[in-house]
Structure 1
Amino acid sequence: MLVIALDTSTPAVTAGLVALEDGSARSLAERVTLNPRAHGELLTPHLTDVMAEAGRELAEVDAIVVGSGPGPFTGLRVGMVTAAALGHALDRPVHPVCGLDAIAARAATGEPLLVATDARRKEVYWAVYGADRARLTGPHVQRPADVPAETAGHGVTAAAGEMAGLFGLDVVEPGHPTPLGLVEAADLDAPPQPLVPLYLRRPDAEAPGPRKQVTAR
């Protein structure tokens, strides 16, 4: 089984092709660039390079996995719209995956884990995972100083994700969702879930309200 993996929920622009064989995932090719302003410019070229390096055609792909956040509005939409368009054009299922789950899936520790990524505005997106990588709580968005009180009682000893160094825990890789992590966190045997982005908070832009009366009655 061949699976395209895409993610733009963090500053990393990620595209990869993963082969699933006998229940194990193997990366055939991947491209990752850390640039929070270039998701739209780089994602499709990255995917094109990945397919060329792997020597495969898009028509050979069986499924698509895409990071659904949490993440910023503009970047997150790039990956999800690209995945939706590919799925429609190829008539292939598209599976959304929480990016924090994808990071946890590849974290090199067998202990309970905190995953934290940059939410901007001096906040982090975070979730806690058990030793089996089942999510115990989250995803949430909070100030880093408020997270330790929320994670107390889960026995967390390590952290992953780009903001892992803020909590005084052992820091483990990865810092961003990887193609292998995205595929391993997806349930490809189940029907795809709706492609709904995990924004976790309201957008900065709001629809304008009614115009104010400026003339006397």
Structure 2
Amino acid sequence: MLLALDTSAVASAALLATGADGGRVLAARAAQDPRRHAEVLQPMVEDVLAEAGAGRRDVTAVVVGVGPGPYTGLRVGMAAALTLGAALDVPVHGVCSLDAVARATADALGDGLPDVLGVATDARRREVYWATYATADELRRTGGPDVGAAADVAGAAGRWVGRGAVLYPDHLAALPAATTDGAVRDDLRDPAAAAVGLVAADALAGRGALALVPVEPLYLRRPDAVATADRGAPAPVR
């Protein structure tokens, strides 16, 4: 069984059965409060194991979304994944969290995808984390991940999913098939552990074009908090 985690936006956990044909989600949980990732993640892991009737020793690998995302959120999920991997003596794999949104969109819409799909999530500071995907034949990332202002990245794809398309609809045109009442569907706004696990399960089975990545956080920019030693000397008072 594959245990999947993601804290690049919301905190989420999922347990999947794996095989030569990819993965099947057995249980999944998510919590929307980004300020409580550390508090809610471990209980969610216990919940998905219990729902699936599994124990920790049934887990054969752990996969974690590596972002892009904010420093605090990413480090919670990655620390948890690495700790669990070490405790259970199982491998830990990484997946780009934007790939998970693209995979969830492809699974939800099937043939209703444009030739080029854009995924944009909230990077704060009026910016988005983004990537683009070719959808013909199989889902394949063609641009990103990167970070930038919505107006600057709008031309990378004609249609978008993810929270970025909710926050900046004037620049990032939402994919109509992925919307409800004109806004991107809730399940296609943020990366989720279930889709992270499906990407990983396919990659481990040698399927699909979305690859596993190193278990290293994709911050893409420096954190807001800067250590005192890195701030430089204050300007002299005149």
Shared fold (TM-score, shorter chain, > 0.5): yes
Which residue number in structure 2 is paired with residue 170 of structure 1? Answer: 175
- The SS at the match of 2:18 is strand
1:134 aligns with 2:140: yes
Structure 1: 4+ residue segments shifted above 6 A? none
The equivalent of 2:58 in structure 1 is 60
- Are positions 1:124 and 2:128 aligned together? yes
| Deviation per residue, 1:52-107 (Å, 9 max, x gap) | 11110111111111000000000110000000000000011111111001111121
Where in structure 2 are there 5+ consecutive unaligned residues?
A: 179-184
Give the superposition deviation at 1:158. Answer: 3.0
Matched, 1:182 2:180: no
- CA RMSD of the aligned region, Å? 2.2
* Displacement after TM superposition at 1:145 (Å): 1.1
Written as runs of structure 1 = structure 2, the 5 A alignment for 1:1-217 is 2-10=1-9, 12-107=10-105, 108=109, 109-111=112-114, 112-131=116-135, 132-149=138-155, 151=156, 156-165=157-166, 166=169, 167-171=172-176, 172=178, 174-186=188-200, 187-188=203-204, 193-207=213-227, 208=229
Q: What's the TM-score, normalizing by structure 1?
A: 0.87
Aligned partner letter, 1:158: R
SS of equivalent residue, structure 1 residue 106: helix
Distance 1:164 1:82 in 2: 30
Please state which structure has a larger fraction of its residues in helix: 2
- CA–CA distance in 1 between the matches of 2:214 and 2:148? 26
Counterpart of 1:170 in structure 2: which amino acid? Answer: L
In structure 1, stretches of 5+ residues that fail to align are none
Partner of 2:182: none
Conserved? CA contact 1:15–1:47, under 8 Å: yes
Larger mean Cα displacement after TM superposition, 184-193 or 195-204: 184-193
Q: CA deviation at 1:164?
A: 2.2
* Secondary structure in structure 1 of the residue aligned to 2:34: coil
Task: Look up the SS of the partner of 2:224 in the other structure.
Answer: coil
Amino acid of the residue matched to residue 163 of structure 2?
E
Q: Which has the higher contact order (CA 8 A, sep 6+)?
A: 2
Is the Cα contact below 8 Å between 2:71 and 2:223 reproduced in 1? yes
Contact 1:93 1:192 in 2 (8 A): no
Query: Any idea what SS the aligned residue of 1:14 has?
Result: strand
The amino acid that maps onto 2:144 is G
Identity in percent: 45
TM-score normalized with structure 2 length: 0.80
* Cα 1:192/1:159, change in 2 over 3 Å: closer
Q: Is the 8 A contact 1:27 1:179 kept in 2?
A: no
Task: Work out the CA distance in 2 between the residues paired with 1:142 and 1:26.
Answer: 34
Equivalenced residue count is 206
| Residue range with higher mean Cα deviation, 197-206 or 33-42 | 197-206
Confirm or deny: 8 A CA contact 1:17 1:29 kept in the other structure. Answer: yes
| Offset, 1:133 | 1.7
